[in-house]
Amino acid sequence: MATTTKQVWKKDFTAEEKQAYKNQKETEKEEIHALYEKFITKKTIKEIIGMVADYKQLHRYTLRNRFMVLAQAEARNDQKFVGVLNSYVNWKKQNIAVLKGSKAYKVLVPIFKKVKKLEEKNNKAEEEEKTILSHFKM
């Protein structure tokens, strides 16, 4: 019986390619943030409360991410936006087909890191591990 192994294609990126990718992602973040700021400044409190009430199904997202998604939907003139968001992988797990050419809405995801901290109490060194917010990614 012959066994087959799955080959994983892996490319080593150069420093220039990594920097270009990083710059592209930073530009994306800045554009989305500018879109969010523009969206928020032109809305009244009454409209904001109405949007929060209308899109209750976005409860898993922070208020900022909700408005970021709504700003993107408004900028795209997306009349079909119903407020249901999920990742591509989760849509596939639910056996729901994603239309070819569909564009993703971008949200900020917090990235946490674990930090070990040495503290001395009563002449004893104790190592304490804390989880802190490192940064956000798109």
Q: Is there a domain that residue 114 lies in?
A: no
32 occurs within a structural domain: yes
Residues 6+ apart with CB under 8 A from 136: 108, 109, 110, 111
How many separate domains does the chain show? Answer: 1
Domain assignment of residue 63, yes or no = yes
Considering the domain boundaries, does residue 59 fall inside one?
A: yes
* pLDDT tens-digit series, residues 114-124: 888 777 777 77
Q: Is residue 47 part of a domain?
A: yes
24-76: pLDDT as tens digits: 988 988 888 888 888 888 888 888 888 777 777 777 778 888 888 888 888 88
Structural domain contains residue 52: yes
Mean pLDDT of the chain: 80
Is 100 a member of any domain? yes
Question: First and final CA of the chain: distance in angstroms?
Answer: 46
Domain that holds residue 96: 17-105
Judge whether 83 and 58 are in contact, CB under 8 Å: yes
